[in-house]
Amino acid sequence: MFSLLARSVTLKRLASQYGMTPTGFARRFIAGETINEAIDAARVLQGRGMHVALDYLGESVNTIKAATTASREYVQLIETIVASGIERNISLKLTQLGMTIDKATCVDNLRRILEPAARHQFFVRIDMESSPYTQLTLDVFETVWSLDFRNVGIALQSALLRTEQDIRRMNELGARVRLVKGAYKEPASVAFQLKADVDAAYTRQMRLLLDHGVYPAIATHDEEIIAETRSYAAERSIGPDRFEFQMLYGIRRDLQASLVAARYRMRVYIPFGKEWFPYFMRRLGERPANIGFVLRALLGEKTG
Ligand SMILES: Cc1cc2nc3c(=O)[nH]c(=O)nc-3n(C[C@H](O)[C@H](O)[C@H](O)COP(=O)(O)OP(=O)(O)OC[C@H]3O[C@@H](n4cnc5c(N)ncnc54)[C@H](O)[C@@H]3O)c2cc1C
């Protein structure tokens, strides 16, 4: 149903008209359409003791020109972040950099970003997209790793059957992993279908990363898994400086604040940019209650 909604032209039109106004409904999850709005959001969060990662939204670019433009925009973004003085941490999607065209284009574009990023001590996280891209994403990652880029890490999804093996490989390389449950609907041939199985895999993989990984990011809003991570780390004397929690902008802000109060590292992923619709639809799809929130806001905006 959500993929259908995500393709709905009417919904997209309504969303772009009303979603990103100063009080628009999409602002709960997206910092804004411009880098300056994202930087303002980052400053507020840093003021509350949180770490940040900026994500310039965009995906599924199909021409070399558009992919090159996206990589140039990322380079500008790096300069703007440096000038702003906020934390130097960004996240990106490889389909934005030409992965759907070919691997070489994508590697070239990624290198164009990683070079200035390394010069300015940025950390760059590669998001994981849907399963047709898993292997390709890992191949591109290993290619830049073999070129000695070390300011880069990857996201892995516990929903996928293959992930435990991928984690072992990343641990062997010494690469930093962000563990997520996975935001895409995947077939049974490649992914667990039951939430309980995804959660159990996440917990196993969290342990594997805490025991053998390099500064893993436990990226979830799941209170039980967060509690389990805290007790597993405490039992093994793994200090709160050896890993971090990550959550999405606007989601479980109470839990974000309570982890900071308990002196854990908490990084908030801040999405921004004009291409916010697919990201927004994934957030709605995760939680039906969000739809009521959006509809109420939409009606309020249209009549108000
Ligand atoms: C920092 C970060 C980076 C991410 N990067 C990627 C990536 O690269 N690739 C990828 O596939 N996925 C990524 N995700 C998304 C992830 O895969 C999940 O889709 C998302 O985090 C929801 O799963 P959960 O772990 O919070 O657990 P869930 O079991 O889905 O949710 C647990 C609880 O969190 C709250 N919650 C979760 N989602 C929402 C929401 N949308 N709105 C309101 N409350 C919510 C609810 O209270 C819910 O009960 C990322 C997530 C985070 C936090």
CA of 299 to the centre of ligand 1 (A): 27
Place 297 in a pLDDT band, splitting at 50, 70 and 90.
low
Strand partners, 51: 267
Catalytic residue among 88, 178, 267, 283: 178
Comparing 29-38, 65-74, 101-110, 289-298, which segment has the lowest mean pLDDT?
Answer: 289-298
pLDDT tops 60 at residue 37:
yes
Mean pLDDT value across residues 232-243: 98
- Ligand 1 neighbourhood includes 191 CB (under 6 angstroms): no
Mean pLDDT of 6-23: 72
**Of 123, 154, 149, which Cα lies nearest the Cα of 138?**
154
Q: What is the mean pLDDT of residues 278-301?
A: 76
Q: What is the pLDDT of residues 58-81, one digit of tens each?
A: 877 889 999 999 999 999 999 999
Whether residue 293 has its Cβ less than 6 Å from ligand 1: no
Query: Which residue's CA is the nearest one to ligand 1's atom 34?
Result: 221
Nearest 5°: phi and psi at 127? -65, 155
d(CA 268, CA 249): 6
Average pLDDT over residues 200-216: 98
Question: Is the CA virtual torsion 48, 52, 56, 59 positive or negative?
Answer: negative
Provide the phi-psi class of 68: left if phi over 0, else alpha when psi is between -120 and 50, else beta. alpha
Mean pLDDT of the chain: 92
Give pLDDT tens digits for 171-199: 999 999 999 999 999 999 999 999 999 99
Residue 91 phi/psi, 5° resolution? -130, 145
In contact, 54 and 88? CB cutoff 8 Å: no
Active site residue 127: yes
Share of the chain above pLDDT 70, in %: 93
Residue 290 banded pLDDT, cuts 50, 70, 90: confident
Query: From ligand 1's centre to the CA of 168, what distance in Å?
Result: 23
What is the number of the ligand 1 atom nearest to the C-alpha of 199? Answer: 29
Residue 288 binned pLDDT confidence (cut-offs 50, 70, 90) = confident
CB-ligand 1 contact for 184 (6 Å cutoff): yes
CB burial string 271-283: b at 16+ within 10 A, e below: bbbebbbebbbbb
Is any atom of ligand 1 closer than 6 Å to the C-beta of 287?
yes
Residue 299 has pLDDT above 70, yes or no: no
Q: What percent of the chain has pLDDT over 90?
A: 79
Is any atom of ligand 1 closer than 6 Å to the C-beta of 275? Answer: no
Kindly report the CA angle at 176 between 172 and 177, in degrees rounded to 5?
Answer: 95
Residue 294: what pLDDT? Answer: 72
pLDDT band at 303 (very low <50, low <70, confident <90, very high): very low
Is residue 252 part of the annotated active site? The answer reads no
* Protein residue with least CA distance to atom 25, ligand 1: 220
Could you tell me if the CB of 269 is within 6 A of ligand 1?
Answer: yes
